[in-house]
Amino acid sequence: MKNVAVLLGSLSEKSINKALAKAIEKLAQERLKFDFLDIGSLPFYNNDLWDNPPASVTDLKTRVAAADAVLIVMPEFNRSFPAVIKNALDWGSRPYGQNSWTGKPLAIAGASPGGIGTAAGQNQLRTTMPLLGFVVMGQPEVYFQFTPGIIDEHFDVTNDQSRDFLAGFADKFADWIDRHGEHRTLSV
Ligand code: FNR
């Protein structure tokens, strides 16, 4: 069982991306265990705070260190990715020389009510992921158009095609972690 640190890019309790992440977790439960990180508690990045780092920051870095991989599930905001994701990525990347992301297998997924399904936001995010040291899974891409009822209150996917697709995504991510997870030992 692989331990996956999840960065959820929405702080809303009614978030469709939270529903998507929980649905993937349910479909992957044979192979992946999700740890939802509390990135909403992080202060805005401030270098001065390293003198006495807030508990939210040390908690983030400790839980990422314990993770075999990272999954980002996020909405698209104004054709880009949410600030809460950027902030968490920046905290994890420091202090200099202690980048938490180095060598971590990464997958990205996102949901939107619109047909674009977060494709534009994810494409912006993907450009900086190699720089941060992630080993990014390129496919399958999850640009999930969230229609009413497609994920129910138990986080079950009600549409067969979408369920099969998301189960396949979870399975391929588990394979990706098996294949590339050892890179995390190279972390600097
Ligand atoms: C949005 N939304 C949105 N949707 C989209 O497909 N492309 C976009 O660029 C944007 N931009 C955007 C900006 C801001 C500030 C907000 C609040 C919303 C709509 C968005 O997809 C929708 O509100 C989702 O429900 C947000 O995801 P969560 O919070 O429900 O997971």
Q: Which tens digit of pLDDT belongs to each residue from 45-87? A: 999 999 999 999 999 999 999 999 999 999 999 999 999 999 9
136: which strand partners?
106
Whole-complex ipTM: 0.99
114 pocket-lining for ligand 1 (C-beta < 6 Å): yes
CB 187 within 8 A of CB 103: yes
185 pocket-lining for ligand 1 (C-beta < 6 Å): no
CATH architecture assignment, domain 2-186: 3-Layer(aba) Sandwich (3.40)
Instruction: Tell me the per-residue pLDDT of 117-147, one tens digit each, with 9 for 90 and over.
Output: 999 999 999 999 999 999 999 999 999 999 9
Pocket probe for ligand 1: among 112, 124, 144, 147, the residue whose CB has the most ligand atoms within 8 Å is: 112
Please, how many CA atoms are within 13 Å of residue 159, restricted to the half-sphere of its CB? Answer: 12
Omega before 140 cis (within 30°)?
yes
The residue ranges of every structural domain in the chain are: 2-186
CB 109 within 8 A of CB 90: no
From the centroid of its chain, how far is CA 153? 21
79 pocket-lining for ligand 1 (C-beta < 6 Å): yes
Residue closest via CA to ligand 1's atom 21 equals 112
> In whole angstroms, what is the distance from residue 121 CA to residue 159 CA?
25
